[in-house]
Structure 1
Amino acid sequence: MPEVVIVASAFGVDAIRRDGHHAWLKTAAKAGAAGFEVRRELFALEAEASPEALSALGKTIAAQNLWSVYSTPAELYAPDGALEEAALREALIEATALGARFVKLQLGGFAGRAYGEAIAKCTRGVAARLVVENGQMERGGSLAQFEALFNALAKDGCNEGRKPVLGMTFDIGNWQWPGVDPVEAARKLADHVEYIHCKAVAGEGARRFAVAPAADDPVFAAVLALLPRNVPRGIEFPFDAARIAEDASHHVARLASA
């Protein structure tokens, strides 16, 4: 069965900022999760991103028999398409301090040039696997951008005879903000997907928000059927605040067997 990760925000953004990531690790472990996603933007203080603090958090996560994902809102590519090398290096240093299995960035302004060799140089010797996620804006959330990215990496020679320099976090719900059909995206990008963010979306326009996929959600089921089954699935929708532990256990079991 696929491993299931609980994204910290599923416990509530305000709760994480108030109590810290560590406060919810036992709940995640008891729910049956295999991993826990740490969100840099939910640190209440910048000091929480220090190597010492991240190392301590990583040890606490491991003590619950969980592995970690380190998520940062930093973009891999600047608005003009240049590689944000400083941001990448910072994210890799922080993910290494945490002991993360994955380090996740937003794609950003990719505009045709992948800088594959530069990324390979940055990630050489780093244990955390670099993945980029489709965001909720047109920049960084375009299907054409992701298709072009992986084509460019192949042309750079970064996909020949070895693992590509980066993979993809496929966020099922995020595609809906820029108006992309997630089923079409799954058909075209499945070969590059190494981590899945699971959520459905309610509301319209700018007032969309993440919700748990309904049991009979045909889009969610179709996307999961197209994506690799051997990659981790992350819960990125809020749990029921009145019964957090029970809801977490329910959705972990559900995603592991879907």
Structure 2
Amino acid sequence: MEHGNSGNLIKNTRADASVPVVIVASAFGAQAIRRDGHAAWAEIAAKAGAAGFEVRRELFSYKAQSQPASLYELGQRIRAAGIWPVYSTPASLFDDTGALDERAMEQTLDEAAALDARIVKFQLGGSESAGTVTDCATLDRLIAGIRNSKAQVVVENGQLQAGGTIDAFSTLFDALANRSHTLSMTFDTGNWRWAQQDPLEAARRLAKYVGYVHCKAVQGEGARRFATAPATGDAYLAALLAYLPAYVPRGIEFPFDQNNLAADAARYVKQLASA
């Protein structure tokens, strides 16, 4: 499906209430974030009307930026701008054998706490062939590990088969179904394409687990795919959003026009809030 780089998102006729919109730091460009730091762009996100700003761990320029003192200062600056932080890490909740990665989980949750993040986002990870381990002992450790997190813990569908398939998420959340837990998922509208999954089927099957949505369209095929802004009247994105919870935060994870960043950010925040 073809998508353009500009235009209005189709309006949501189900409700008048606006949805909180998060600007993902990478939307402003990785080079700009590494050059200026997250805080400077969080202020621009706030002026654009965003409710939150997603800090991307992989865009830190040096190791000290992921240390508690630096994260605390960054979180304070984001909140001083009048918005709340989201913390995103490339770390996976499950390693490539399918086992729970407790070290990555603990480290990431500590970093999110220092930032005072409202949401903390992991990749799901796991083994491409076997998925994730879901025995009782593993689930007990997962539930205990995230129980005291002030941030909402979410796992995202990635661009690889490992951690990017509908069945991987369905298996995990089905295993958690009869347990009290706080885990939910980030539904990335575009990443399913990389993993050769049907986004609409994913929305139908996984909507009840979704606590955060990453919004983007996709152009190209195979390894040449890339994220782009939804086209004018993008009925496909509208259909996806119609399946998903109406008021969970929506993150902008497509690139803004580099020649008009602030205006582009404001335009898409307004549009996505009512899409």
What is the TM-score when the length of structure 2 is the normalising length? 0.90
Q: For residue 233 of structure 1, what is the aligned residue in structure 2?
A: 250
Q: Does 2:64 align with 1:69? A: no
Quote the Cα distance in structure 2 between the aligned partners of 1:112 and 1:125. Answer: 22
SS at the partner of 2:240? helix
Q: Deviations over 1:180-212 (max 9, x none)?
A: 111110000000000000000111110111100
Quote the Cα distance in structure 1 between the aligned partners of 2:148 and 2:162. Answer: 30
SS at the partner of 1:196? strand
Asked whether the equivalents of residues 142 and 178 of structure 1 are also in contact (C-alpha less than 8 Å), the reply is: yes
The CA RMSD measured in Å over matched residues stands at 1.0
Q: For residue 130 of structure 1, what is the aligned residue in structure 2?
A: 153
Matches within 5 A, 1:95-110: 95-109=112-126, 110=131
2:171 to 118, 124, 148: 148
Q: For residue 79 of structure 1, what is the aligned residue in structure 2?
A: 96
Amino acid at match of 1:158: R
- Give how far 1:59 is off: 0.2
Q: For residue 186 of structure 1, what is the aligned residue in structure 2?
A: 203
Greater CA drift, 187-196 or 22-31? 22-31
- Give how far 1:131 is off: 0.3
Quote the Cα distance in structure 2 between the aligned partners of 1:213 and 1:230. Answer: 19
Quote the Cα distance in structure 2 between the aligned partners of 1:168 and 1:219. Answer: 21
Q: Does 2:196 align with 1:175? A: no
Quote the Cα distance in structure 2 between the aligned partners of 1:98 and 1:249. Answer: 25
Q: For residue 6 of structure 2, what is the aligned residue in structure 1?
A: none
Quote the Cα distance in structure 1 between the aligned partners of 2:118 and 2:39. Answer: 18
Identify the structure with bigger relative contact order (alpha carbons < 8 Å, sequence gap 6+).
2
Matches within 5 A, 1:2-81: 2-81=19-98
What is the TM-score when the length of structure 1 is the normalising length? 0.95
Quote the Cα distance in structure 2 between the aligned partners of 1:230 and 1:214. Answer: 22
- Give how far 1:112 is off: 4.3
- Give how far 1:223 is off: 0.2
Asked whether the equivalents of residues 147 and 182 of structure 2 are also in contact (C-alpha less than 8 Å), the reply is: no
Matches within 5 A, 1:189-208: 189-208=206-225
Amino acid at match of 1:147: S
Quote the Cα distance in structure 1 between the aligned partners of 2:165 and 2:244. Answer: 18
Asked whether the equivalents of residues 210 and 238 of structure 1 are also in contact (C-alpha less than 8 Å), the reply is: yes
Quote the Cα distance in structure 2 between the aligned partners of 1:59 and 1:30. Answer: 17
| Shift >2 Å, 4+ stretches | none
> Percent sequence identity over matched residues?
57
Q: For residue 179 of structure 2, what is the aligned residue in structure 1?
A: 158
Q: For residue 89 of structure 1, what is the aligned residue in structure 2?
A: 106
1:139 to 155, 159, 162: 162
SS at the partner of 2:88? strand
